[in-house]
Amino acid sequence: MIALTEQQVRILNGKNFATVATVMPDGSPEATVVWIETDGTYIYLNTAFPRLKARNLQRDPRVAITVFGCKDPYNEVLAIRGRAELILEGADEHIDKLSRMYEGKPFKDFRQGQTRVIVKVTPERIHVQ
């Protein structure tokens, strides 16, 4: 496992957006913009079943993440590759935490028929641009 530096933690825990790419069944990439955070070891985001990102990660845990600092996007860029683990426990609380961090208010977009899931990424490679 790769250790995150203080600067990488600061970027990941800043109010910065990330693009997360997963692998489609045919091998092609699928990318979406997400809220993101880290505990200093793992990288976390949140999605829901039956969304495409969650289905892709359930089938193939390989993931690529690009995050850039909104205040200095050309100098604060991380390209991360790793493997994802899906965690159901605490997922509703986690998306609420991210919503408060990014939007300053509780998460209200819970949809019937969807189950929130935490995506816990173990970084295997980090490229700093």
In the chain, the amino acid numbered 105 is K
Give alpha helix (H) positions in the chain: 6-13, 52-59, 91-103
So what's the pLDDT on residue 112?
82
Tell me which residues of the chain have a pLDDT lower than 70: none
Residue labelled with tokens 């990488």? 8
Q: What is residue 128's predicted lDDT score, i.e. its pLDDT?
A: 86
Going along the chain from its start, the domains and CATH numbers come out as 6-128 (2.30.110.10)
Q: What is the pLDDT at residue 110? A: 79
Q: Is the Cβ–Cβ distance between 46 and 91 less than 8 Å? A: yes
**CB atoms closer than 10 angstroms to residue 113:** 7
